[in-house]
Structure 1
Amino acid sequence: MTSRPTAAGLFDWNFQAPTPSDMGDHDVPVISNRLAGKRVALLVTGGIAAMKTPQIARGLRRHGAEVVAFASDDALRYVAREALEWATCSPVVSTLTWAAEHLSDNAPFDAYLVAPATHNTIAKMANGIADTVITSALASALGRMEQGHTKILIAPTMHGTLHNSVLVENARKLSNLGVHFVAPRDGYGKHNLPDTDVLCTSVGRILSESPLRNKSIMVTAGPTPVPIDGVRRIVNRFRGRLGAAIAEELIWRGADAELILGDGAWRPKTTLPLTITRTFDEYRDTVVDRARSGLFAGVFSAGVADYRPAEAVQGKITSGQASLPLNLVPTEKVIDLACEAAQSMRCIAFKYLEQVTEEELINVASKRLNHASLVVATRGEDTQGKEQRALMVTKAGVTPVEGKYQIAAAIADHLETLASEVK
């Protein structure tokens, strides 16, 4: 029997010591190595959102990036130098010195992220003004960008009254040069700083050299509920966490990926294009519609309902009955409908079985290779919570992969191979 959680346990400290950890004070928990080996200059300008920049620095480091902060005098009114140095593990560059840090000759940056970017900084950058450490660094970055050696991202944050024709003209001018603008978070009449995850993903996407860049890909995930009546429904235990990990990996690689998630109450924390389908019918129609729109690929990881009531009852079935017989009939094979609707779409299929040998699983999964170039085969006994083992089944052979994120990466790698073959 598990212990009962209490409010006191959530809100009242019992004076217990923290769980021991091997992490040092400046270390960050590693999420991925997507930015490993990349140097990012975080340029902090004088907006109130500068207070959030230590979180951005640590977010980039969680994906393996090396981060150096540049900060204007106004920025240091809103965020302490020590906080930025603690978050980046590097001295803050706040003045022009003989070492010419703004030129970064000895250690060039792969990307420059201006966050927050004020109206003033955008205007100066667009008009070639280099009178501070920030604008001088950006002038040099523009030169490097035009030579193909770096990328520049700008996250504009400002009050709505500052969104005027001058701002738009300057932003378009920079965009035409190749500068990327990260969409601000809209709220309270202001352009607000995006969430850290959005900024980190934006950096990853702009640095990606994957052949999946700009490829339209659909990822399905989660259950596909079938109604019994207007209240009750049949739903399986799958929630779509693997599908979300796949969509996230594709987004990082620069793909135009959409997650179509069946309604199982769970929602991914990561920001990505998301469509929720409430029922099997809605799922089927959405998937087929997307396939017809002209996709490069479809990844079908959803736990699709195999059966449905022959007829759903309108309203609510009266409770208290001694029994409730249900006449179930097979549902359509949505992956087949989608592949038939878009025969040029590359398909990744999934197969899940329980209480079978790996050989039996492979034999069943191989039958899906008529439509799919890859079948991701899993057994119930190999799936425990967040842990998962899958067999990647292709006509060339079978490769085992351990872990959800590793499975997602393997699927993305396979799609990259397919994309590279496109002439």
Structure 2
Amino acid sequence: MNKWDFESSPELALDDYDYPKELLKDEDIASRSASVYPTDREVTLESTHLQSKRIALLVTGSIAAMKAPLIARTLRRQGAEVVAFVSPEALRYTTVDALEWSTTNPVITKLTANAEHLSDDYPFAAYVVAPATYNTINKMALGIADGIITSSLGSAIGRMERGKTQILIAPTMHGSLHNSILTESLRKLDRLGIKIIPPKVANGKNNLPEEKAIAFAVCRAVSQSSLKDLPILVTGGPTPVPIDHIRRLTNRFTGRLGACIAEELYLRGAKVKLIHGQGSFSPPEYLPHKIVTTYDEYLAEVMTELQNNYRYGIFSAAVADYQPAQVFPGKIPSGELSKIDLIPTTKVISGVRAKFPSLGMITFKYQENISHEELIDIAKSRLQEGYQMVVANRGEEHQATGAQVAYLVTKDEAPQKVVGKPEIAKAIANYLEVTCDQHKT
């Protein structure tokens, strides 16, 4: 049950849990982790978007504080060094031991002579208030600094205003507390430059978003990529064509690569939008996307969305090449369909190239039963149509390796071989970063 409480609950009697300031040194943390913490406290690194970044996780007095250890570990999976600051009220719902285990760092529970809230010697790249209660949000807006969390945030706001850190908050409370007072406080914090992570609204409550959504918001906030704030459209998945109101013709492609590309760009701070064809795979909720169910819907959505002045379009969708000449009304009775007359569909990328000539385009080419040399020749010929890159792959290589093997083909460089969807996504994002940097110079 999600029951969000105020932070005005009675103070708890806390054991002393103060650490010398020296323990916050990066080299001491690494040494301490290696010698004291067993390997079960380590995490599998999923990305390096927060590598070498110190993140302050500020935990306030909501029942959602029980998820703080999970948030810490998810941040660490992106490469972050996490230090938890926890209010007395939050310790009703989580523990110092759980937070120390999940961060592998000392937990800050109160202010001492070490002035932990200032973090002068070892500054944080970002402060993340998750969960952020009604009480904390309104205190932030009024500049109140009466405890470990609000005092740390007072200093953090000063650093943020000097361009030295980022602040993110995840509002978490019962829906009835989302009143005009809270709205005004959120607007004020937004004007200051504090980033608000939208809650997951359900059953009348503003719930804490999933841990990955919070971690990804932090990645975006601290990103220094040249793709930051750049509008990029990505497509992925199949584009089924209907036979009647029940049956469809489709293909076996899932759209996982398109989602992987969109996610990598999203982590680097791009204003990415994914148009995803409906199939066996659905993109995660935190990734901005639109599901389309048919080829016609896909074509219309792409053409409409591109009117919003995108800089690049990455077209990985497995677009239908043919569609029935006639869609039968209702359901064709079983056994009465002897043949389907097919006609070619409109080539979407050709239509995009003609209508949006200034759009940077990356397209995909999948082939089977041809040689590698033939594949590269086909990709190079496609470049003559005005595309910046063609990502080419053959079914035979996927079957042989069990992983997707792609060749990134451009006009100026030799084809680049990349193995695996995450690596393909990174290679495409890297290419776009280099291209953007070249345009700036």
TM-score, with structure 2 as normaliser = 0.87
In the TM superposition, residue 64 of structure 1 has moved relative to its aligned partner by: 0.9
Letter in 1 for 2:302: V
Residue 355 of structure 1 corresponds to 369
The alignment yields a C-alpha RMSD, in angstroms, of: 1.7
> Which of 374, 377, 390 does residue 375 from structure 1 map onto?
390
> Which of 76, 86, 94 does residue 91 from structure 2 map onto?
76
In the TM superposition, residue 250 of structure 1 has moved relative to its aligned partner by: 1.0
Alpha carbons of 1:161 and 1:102: their partners in 2 closer, same or farther (altered >3 Å)? same
In the TM superposition, residue 145 of structure 1 has moved relative to its aligned partner by: 1.0
User: Per-residue displacement from partner, 1:151-192 (whole Å, max 9, x unpaired)?
Assistant: 010111112222222222222222222111111111222221
Alignment of 1:200-219 (within 5 A): 200-219=215-234
Residue 417 of structure 1 corresponds to 434
Contact 1:366 1:394 in 2 (8 A): yes
Residue 132 of structure 1 corresponds to 147
Alignment of 1:13-412 (within 5 A): 24-269=39-284, 271-321=286-336, 324-369=338-383, 370-384=385-399, 387-397=403-413, 398-412=415-429
In the TM superposition, residue 93 of structure 1 has moved relative to its aligned partner by: 0.2
Residue 8 of structure 1 corresponds to none
Letter in 2 for 1:395: K
In the TM superposition, residue 320 of structure 1 has moved relative to its aligned partner by: 2.6
Alpha carbons of 1:140 and 1:386: their partners in 2 closer, same or farther (altered >3 Å)? farther
Q: How many residues align?
A: 400
2: CA distance, partners of 1:121 / 1:231: 52
2: CA distance, partners of 1:179 / 1:292: 30
User: Per-residue displacement from partner, 1:64-107 (whole Å, max 9, x unpaired)?
Assistant: 11111000000011111111111111111001112222111221
Contact 2:49 2:223 in 1 (8 A): no
2: CA distance, partners of 1:414 / 1:138: 38
Contact 1:221 1:260 in 2 (8 A): yes
In the TM superposition, residue 310 of structure 1 has moved relative to its aligned partner by: 1.8
Aligned-pair identity in percent equals 53
* Structure 1 portions without partners, runs of 5+: 1-22
2: CA distance, partners of 1:268 / 1:170: 32
SS of corresponding position for 1:387: coil
In the TM superposition, residue 402 of structure 1 has moved relative to its aligned partner by: 1.6
2: CA distance, partners of 1:172 / 1:288: 34
Contact 1:197 1:270 in 2 (8 A): no
2: CA distance, partners of 1:163 / 1:278: 35
SS of corresponding position for 1:324: coil
TM-score, with structure 1 as normaliser = 0.91
1: CA distance, partners of 2:168 / 2:244: 50
Which shows bigger deviation, 69-78 or 163-172? 163-172
Letter in 1 for 2:342: L
* Structure 2 portions without partners, runs of 5+: 1-37
Contact 1:227 1:279 in 2 (8 A): yes
2: CA distance, partners of 1:128 / 1:226: 57
